[in-house]
Structures are given as C-alpha cells and as structure tokens.
Structure 1
Amino acid sequence: MILNWDNSLSVGDDNIDNQHKELFYRLNKLLEAMKEGKGKSEVINTLDFLEVYVIKHFNYEEEIQKKNKYPKFNVQHKQHGEFKNELKELRRVFETTGISSLFVINTQQKMVKWCKDHIMNSDMELGEYLTKKLKKAF
C-alpha cells in the first residue's frame, strides 16, 4: 500500500507538512524495497531515520501545540510517547534477533498504522484547530 501525500493532509504548517511528506517518502521507499525483496536492507535505514525524525518532529509539533494552547496537547504528547516506545521496542527486537521477514513486515505495518491513525486523524485535528485559530486572529 503506497502512501500518497496530497494537500488534504496538510496541517497548515509548512515544517510539519514537509516532515510528514518526508515520512511518507521513507515509508514508501520501504514498501517498494519489500516488493522487490529488499526490505531487509531498507528496514534498518528506515528505523535509523525514524529514531532521529521522531525527536525533531515531535518536539516541533509539541512546541506549536503549546504555543497555540492546543486543547488536545496531552493526547498528542501521549501518542508521541507511545510511538517512541514502539520504536525502542523495534530496535530492541532488531538488536536481539536480527532482521527477519517478520521484523520487516511488523515495522512496515506499525509505520503505516501510525500514518493512518496519527497523521490522518490527530494531526488533521491539529491542523483544523490551527486554521480556525488563524482565522480568528484576522
């Protein structure tokens, strides 16, 4: 399943949107590698990317939420923490068992689920909130 970015997924903040686009690109790269039977080599690149990405992205996103007094900040913060824990667990599994086809599939499924559950729901709500707040300011 290829993840397609379009403007309907925009939260209205260029930095967040560009970071989400990069995430989609990386996950699609993993999905393509899996189709070609090269998922094992790409999954570690994806995991390495995600471990850096979540720190930068979540910190920025939460900074925007605090600045704008987003009422669902605590929900988002909790979700971000859960995702970080999932990444830690994936890294632990990789370091103890190595790369298997099951590990690659599990990683891919978790990342796609994150995109669907968080970006396409929670972050879209954030975008709607920011848009309404911006309209009120003018």
Structure 2
Amino acid sequence: MINVFKWDESLSTGFDEVDNQHKKLIRVIEDVHQAMEAADRDEADAGLKLAKDLKRLTDYTLYHFTEEEDLMRRNGFPGLESHKKEHEAFVAKITAQIKGLAASDAEASFQLYRFLGSWLLAHIARSDQEWAAFISQKA
C-alpha cells in the first residue's frame, strides 16, 4: 500500500484538545494501514489485529465526533447540523466499507485506508476550520 497520512500544523484548529484528537485519529488510521499490510502478507494474527484496530478506529471516531459536536453546540456554531451530517455520512461510509473487508480483498482494504485518511485530512482542513474560526472570533 502507498500513502501515509500525517499531521501538518496547517490543520491546527487552535484548540489543543481537538488537535490532539485529530492527531490520534491519524495515528489510529496508520495503525489500521499497518494491520492491513500485515493481513495482505498473511502474517499470524494479522486479521485479529486488523479487527481490533478497526474497532478502535470506529470507537475513537465516534468519541471524537461527539466531543467536537458538543464544543460546537456549547459555542452556538450555526453550521452544527451540517457538520454533524458530514460526520454521520463518514460513519455510514466506513461502516459499509469495513463490512466489505470480510472478503479479505486487498483492493477494498486500500480503498478504505485511502478514504479514511483523505476524508479526515480534507474534513479538518475545511469543515473543522470553519467552526474553529467561528468559536475563536467569539472569544
């Protein structure tokens, strides 16, 4: 597999807790990537590690989205509902793609990894910057 998604300071929202959560999400996506590569090489227990990493990814994603939406709600961000719909669409898409991994298809794994990293970085760079600017201006 190719692509390695990394944190870049240009993605910073200016909210340390949120930025740390974003960094952790990127690390978890990279853990998923490594587990996918191990599964492609048929390494022992690779399937179990991949399942655990995917579970950790979905759990942490849901936690992060809840925290982020709560921050927007507390600060009266007018785009909350739209932002929340982006989160819901992401969760639905990764849930569907994870189910597609059951066939151990290397291409499906790569597509999931590419989607995870690309979506997250684009979402942080665009949508998260909107609410961060709004809340920062209120302060």
TM over 0.5, yes or no?
yes
2:14 partner SS: coil
Q: Give ranges in structure 2 of 5+ residues lacking alignment.
A: 41-45
Deviation, structure 1 residue 62: 0.5
Q: List alignment gaps of at least 5 residues for structure 1.
A: none
Give the paired residue count: 130
CA–CA separation in structure 1 for the residues paired with 2:34 and 2:85:
31
Per-residue CA distance 1:7-32 (angstroms, 9 max, x = gap): 32121222211110011112233445
Structure 1 position 99, deviation (Å): 2.0
Query: Which is further off, 63-72 or 4-13?
Result: 4-13
Q: 1:19: which partner in 2?
A: 21
RMSD, aligned α-carbons:
2.1
> For residues 29 and 51 of structure 1, what CA distance do their matches in structure 2 show?
13
Q: Which residue, 66, 69, 78 being the options, matches 1:71?
A: 78
Percent of residue pairs identical:
26
Q: TM-score scaled to structure 1, two decimals? A: 0.80
How many angstroms does 1:121 deviate by?
Answer: 0.9
Match of 2:60 among 50, 53, 63: 53
Q: TM-score, normalised by structure 2?
A: 0.80
Query: 1:33 and 1:47 mapped to 2: Cα distance?
Result: 9
CA separation of 1:8 and 1:81: change in aligned 2, threshold 3 A:
same
Instruction: Give how far 1:39 is off.
Output: 5.2
Q: What are the within-5 Å matches in structure 2 for residues 1-138 of structure 1?
A: 1-32=3-34, 37-38=37-38, 40=40, 41=46, 43-94=50-101, 97-134=102-139
